[in-house]
Amino acid sequence: MMSDERRQLISKRTRAAMATPEVRKKVSDRTKVGIAARKEWSCELAALRVVWRAACPEARRRFIDEIFEALCGDG
């Protein structure tokens, strides 16, 4: 667990870094990009959630297995 002193130091450094206009603009710009991306994907994600909830546990398990096989390879 993090000490109170460490948390306060991190908080102080974060406030100092966020004080610059460049950092605030960068955070704001990236937030806007993230919000736009979420709007773009929201319908597709909603459709995936509906299908996921309708699928039986075995189909869900197999789907997850296939995703991990694609990411990690067979062995």
The pair of structure tokens assigned to 55 is 């699928």
As a whole number of angstroms, the distance between CA 38 and CA 36 comes to 5
User: Which tens digit of pLDDT belongs to each residue from 34-69?
Assistant: 898 888 888 999 999 999 999 999 999 999 999 999
pTM of the model: 0.46
Question: What Rg, from alpha-carbon coordinates, does the chain have?
Answer: 21
pLDDT of residue 74: 64
Q: ∠20-15-11 over CA atoms, to 5°? A: 155
**CA distances to 23, 24, 41, 51, 63 from 69, in Å:** 40, 40, 24, 21, 10
Would you give the DSSP letter of residue 4?
H
User: Which tens digit of pLDDT belongs to each residue from 10-20?
Assistant: 999 888 888 88
